[in-house]
Structure 1
Amino acid sequence: MKLHFLMPHMVLLIIIIHELFCIHISAETLVSSPQFSPITPLSSSMPRQVEEENHQKDYSHKKVLLVLVIIAIALSVLILSILCLWIYHIKHPSKSKRKNVLNSDAEKGNPPAQFLSKFSSIELVGLKKGCIPIIDYKKIEKSTNNFQENNILGIGGFGCVYKAHFDENFDVAVKKLHCHTQNALREFENEVDLLSKVQHPNIISLLGCSNDGDMKFIVYELMENGSLEAQLHGPSRGSGLTWHARLKIALDTARALEYLHEHCYPSVIHRDMKSSNILLDENFNAKLSDFGLAIIDGSQKKKNIKLSGTLGYVAPEYLLDGKLSDKSDVYAYGVVLLELLLGRKPVEKLSAAQCQSLVTWAMPQLTDRSKLQNIVDPVIKNSMDLKHLYQVAAVAVLCVQPEPSYRPLITDVLHSLIPLVPVELGGTLRV
């Protein structure tokens, strides 16, 4: 504990002791002062005078004892108060400390060490704002084999993501952005800025960036198993994801969101939480990606934020009223949880002119245990503990509540899932 934290309490204690001793000295003065001593004109009154003096001494001793008791009580109260404040200080760190954690990440702002060492063989143009490696465009072009189609990993709103081979045993992912519009440029700058400040095991690592006129490039660590969307809704139809693997993905994603909502100051709202932005490495560890639309919580009040997101994941209060909060991310997370449980897309076409959301279709059946087993993804239907299925379904139902205040905090979701995930996968369940 720092000295300045104790100083006000020490001063208070000194003042109390000083005042109590002043009171004691005043009492002694009143008792012993000649002008207050009794007048004894006759010698016969001497024994009485001695008796009174003894009485006054006893009274003085009692006053001293009383002062000492009061000092002891005051000291005990003060020590107890300091102890309580210290415990509170430990359990509830100040905002400035939380901010320092984020700022220290921002100051580091470097790719993880295991990737930095591999950049030694790559020509770097420089460091953006002193921290982000700028990779020569020609190296980017060569590593993707001139952006050949067979190297495409995915396609986004403003461009494609390519697999790039920089060196032996060093493959990365390169996002190529066509920044012809202000929105595209803003998303590029926003993603680079945010990812340079946040570092978490369940958030994608930024390795560098590059540019060639209107073309911008962001280099990330390569996630060998692609996106959760491709795993669930691609050719394999989720066959590579067991029940426990799906719960681990849900747990990893919840940890990423908790970091953004609770451990960053100011907190970060992802705003584009969906299965295609959850990437899986070779061991199916999940990492949250694509921070182009992410915003700092509270900034939406200062300027006009354009309504953005993906149909099926956007929370109703944001879609209808433009109200955005961390509970908007929780809603989208609930939709992803339903995808993991049911193996269905967030929006499915019923006809050329009609679509149905997964939430609308599933809600009546999620709360009915007799129906729930019939809508679970057939891949995992016979490999789960039914009690655990009901618990996960209950969490999903809470996350997609229409009223934001009824949705749980992502921290509560995280603590609900940890006991359902095996220890070797990051939970506390012993199988």
Structure 2
Amino acid sequence: MGTLRIHPFWNWNQFLFFSFLVIFLFPEISMSVDMLSGTESVVHNQTIVSEGDVFELGFFSPDDSGEWYVGIWYKNIPDRTYVWIANRDKPLSNSSGVFKVEDRNLVLLDQGNNLVWSSNITNGGTGSDDAVAAQLLDTGNLILREANNGETETESESTEHYLWQSFDYPTDTLLPGMKLGWDLNTGFNRFLTAWRTRTDPSTGDFSFKLDYHGFPEIFLWNKQGIEYRSGPWNGLRFSGVPEMKPLDYMTFTFLTNRDEVYYSFSITKRDLFSRLIVTPTGALQRLTWIPDTKQWNPFWYAPKDQCDDYRECGPYGICDTDASPVCKCPKGFSPKNQQAWNLRDGSGGCVRKTDLDCAKDKFLHLPNMKLPESTTSFVDRTMNLKDCEALCTRNCSCMAYSNWDIRNGGAGCVIWIGDLIDLRQYTDGGQDLFVRLAASDLEDGGNATVLITGTTAGAGVLVLALVAFVIWKKKAMQRKGKIEKKGPHERSQDLLLNEVVISSKKEYSSENNPDELELPLFDFDTLVTATDNFADENKLGQGGFGCVYMGRLVEGQEIAVKRLSKNSGQGTEEFKNEVKLIARLQHRNLVRLLGCCIEMDEKMLVYEYMENRSLDSVLFNKARSSLLNWQRRFNIICGIARGLLYLHQDSRFRIVHRDLKASNVLLDGEMNPKISDFGMARIFSGDQIEANTKRVVGTYGYMSPEYAMDGLFSTKSDVFSFGVLLLEVVSGKKNRGFYHSNSELNLLGHAWRTWKEGKGLELIDPAVGDTYEAQEVLRCIQVGLLCVQERAENRPTMSTVVLMLNSETATLAQPKTPGFCLGRNTLETDSSTSKQDESCTVNQVTVTMLDAR
């Protein structure tokens, strides 16, 4: 920052003209230094840049909101990505602020010279401002330190002499080298807090905080409630993040001692950027910037499935996404509330079958476990596992024990006192947990040796075999008699159930131990009573499959009953498919199947009741659409995306829904979306990419071109349907299928045209009002258009869609021509309630014999 000198041969007018030209052409001027001395300041249109040109600090206004902040962002990433903000909760009302060193502190002053923000150092010593300097490092850390006679700080120097550093006050981002955790000497806690919204950096509801008590772990909080926990650090990774493995270019650190407890990570490749963030919607995301692709790529995220939800299965309940239902009780335990358990509500947890007897108790070995909540556990790092077992055995309050560190065969001891909370089992990963159990429940044959002679053993075996044969024969005769006594309808019920189970086992034959379909059966009289004999006033909706009724069980639980048409062959196929699929799926954005009923000619499916019914009943209803403000619509879009991602990637199998539409998305009391109706869904094997069908089923307006024309369906055809649905949520208008009554383009064509003309915001539903974020709306429209591109290979995957929706810094490609329809049909029918042969045009190609639902 030297003195500006005017060359002798310039006159004053030439200088003023040159100055005006520079300001006009280069409105934002970057200082050539990374330092800010006590005599310098940063104002609007000025920035300081780290020595390696990695990070930049200056004033910014998100989405041109009129509110101004001082922040740090990546210098050379096109989509500006903010990593730290000084005054996140006290924005300036205009750009006339000053950021400088004053009274040995960093301060932000408004145009009236009033203090807006300060580093607030109380022990910075005495002396002039010239004695301290601020410096922006290539790590993204803004530091305040002694000036050191003009020498600059290097990345390798100790942080002990920093007067202040931004790394101690993170916002929503954890960068390499930052510490997430506690300084135990001062009681200082470093944690992440999400932005309020995508364009409002003020403190949001979600935070990611390390709890150092007991066996330390990190929790994701929603205000005062826990949403997710990492599990404690086991020496290699967090026990709740089995996919967390050291890489050549990325290492993870967890340090715990008497002075501090923190988590950190580091990157060894200088051209690779990585950051961990908490999004405004409550997701943890690790993103990496790959120079070759020029975009932020998803590396890891959480919560990713139902078992990531905190306390999903209650005390002692074990959550397992490979089980159906996901909640199960360990050996020696049974559900606390069997009725709720049968209805797939495991939040009540499990209770012991047999009371403990401290002197005789044994321990049940559970492998591949996410350890229980550990903040109240006891830790001894010096013990081995054998000593740990002895300690837990002697302490009658000890309910479980495990290793503190799993490296090199295991070391240290952790014991849990009281109920075991938030257990989860993995196919691969986690660690061994030993749970206290009554000896009689363990069936530990290894410790009881029975000495018998070979003759006695042989005789015993023969006797047992004979008894077993007699019992089997008797039961077989009884079964035969029962079957003969059954009427044709009852035999039909058995055959249908057997067909579902057998076909299900064939579908899931790749599993080593396929689970039985543990789906509760409701008797017909129970559902008649619940729905008041299927009264019209309880009817929620109707489709080609039949009707859906609201009901209330005797114990008070509200349910939705889908009663399939007696003469609908399609209904029978849908019923079997739904039982096979949705009974095994567990996700917060998928509707929960509680059970089924097969009696006489009746086939019924029982679901959890959704208070706000289907999305189309709100979205396309002028009287109710105002209930969906922009934040609710955005949450609905993100929720549907997460549910579809679970089907495509995170569930036990890759599942293509094939009929995603507004009427198949249900809304609960808080307007949270849940995907429903899996009658047309298909399972893909692990290496399968697409499939072909001669019978095209679906709904006009949501089917992708390759599916409608050639019967080819894949996850990308679901992505197309999602794109249509997204644009409908934004606009409040139906896509109207393959035609439009006034010969205009359908919704996809209209959205494409307005986007190309730069008028994307004209698409938004007037019922939203003015309370929306323009950039967020435009991002959603762009994502929707990317999803409905004509060629399947150009469409993003759902994992990329989720990233694009939840990260304002993700780079979005420009969409290509959508697969919208240019033809016109003179008939306008509700394809969801009729089944008829029609002819229509998709991208100028005629398709006939569409089997619509």
- Is the TM-score greater than 0.5? yes
Q: Determine the structure 2 residue equivalent to 1:281.
A: 668
Q: Which has the higher contact order (CA 8 A, sep 6+)?
A: 1
- Mapping for residues 21-420 of structure 1, pairs under 5 Å: 87=246, 103-105=322-324, 111-113=343-345, 131-297=518-684, 304=693, 306-347=695-736, 350-351=740-741, 357-369=746-758, 371-419=759-807
Report the Cα distance in structure 2 between the residues aligned to 1:159 and 1:366, rounded to whole angstroms. Answer: 40
- The CA distance in 1 between the partners of 2:736 and 2:677, in whole Å, is 21
Tell me if the contact between 1:158 and 1:179 (Cα under 8 Å) persists in the aligned partners: no
Q: CA deviation at 1:143?
A: 1.0
Residues 214-235 of structure 1: CA deviation (Å, up to 9, x unaligned): 3211000000011111111124
The answer for the alignment partner of 1:42 in structure 2 is none
Normalising to structure 1: TM-score of the pair?
0.67
Q: Name the SS of the counterpart of 2:527 in structure 1.
A: helix
2:210 paired residue number: none
Shift in CA distance, 262/130, structure 1 to aligned 2, threshold 3 Å = closer
> What 5-or-longer segments of structure 2 have no aligned partner?
1-243, 248-298, 301-318, 329-341, 350-492, 502-515, 809-853
Aligned to 1:41: none
SS of the residue corresponding to residue 699 of structure 2 reads coil
Q: 1:265 to 1:207 in 2, by over 3 A?
A: closer
Q: What is the one-letter code of the residue matched to 2:520?
A: P
Q: How many residues of Structure 1 are paired with residues of Structure 2 in the alignment?
A: 320
Q: Distance in 2 between matches of 1:116 and 1:164?
A: 23
Alignment-mate amino acid for residue 367 of structure 1: K
* Kept after mapping to 1: 8 A contact 2:519/2:594: yes
Deviation string, structure 1 residues 345-376 (Cα, Å, up to 9, x no partner): 12077449x6853212321112332x222232
Alpha carbons 1:164, 1:174 under 8 Å: kept: yes
Partner amino acid, structure 2, of 1:313:
Y
TM-score for both structures, normalised by structure 2: 0.35
1:364–1:232 CA distance, 2 compared to 1 (3 A): same
Read off the aligned partner of 2:701 and give its amino acid letter.
G
Q: 1:116 to 1:204 in 2, by over 3 A?
A: farther
Where is the strand percentage greater, Structure 1 or Structure 2? 2
Distance 1:213 1:334, change over 3 A: same
Q: 1:162-213 CA deviation, whole Å, 9 max, x = no partner? A: 0001135311100000143433211101001111111111111111110233
Q: Which residue of 2 aligns with 1:7?
A: none
Change in Cα spacing, 1:244 to 1:107, as seen in structure 2 (3 Å) is closer
Q: Which structure has greater helix proportion?
A: 1
User: Which string of whole-angstrom CA distances, capped at 9 and with x for unpartnered residues, describes residues 77-113 of structure 1?
Assistant: xxxxxxxx9747xx99xxxxxxx96542368696422
The one-letter code matched in structure 2 to 1:203 is: L
Q: Which runs of 4+ in 1 moved over 4 A?
A: 85-88, 106-110, 114-117, 125-130, 298-305
Query: Given that residues 641 and 801 in structure 2 are in contact (C-alpha distance below 8 angstroms), is that contact kept between their aligned partners in structure 1?
Result: yes
Are the aligned partners of 1:178 and 1:214 in contact in 2 as well (CA < 8 Å)?
A: no
**Superposition CA RMSD, Å:** 3.2
Q: 1:130 to 1:198 in 2, by over 3 A?
A: closer
Do the aligned residues in 1 keep the contact of 2:690 with 2:714 (CA within 8 Å)? no
Larger Rg computed on CA atoms = 1
Question: How much identity, in percent, do the aligned residues show?
Answer: 35
Distance 1:216 1:280 in 2: 25
Contact kept in structure 1, 2:657 and 2:678, CA below 8 Å: yes
**Letter paired with 2:755:** L
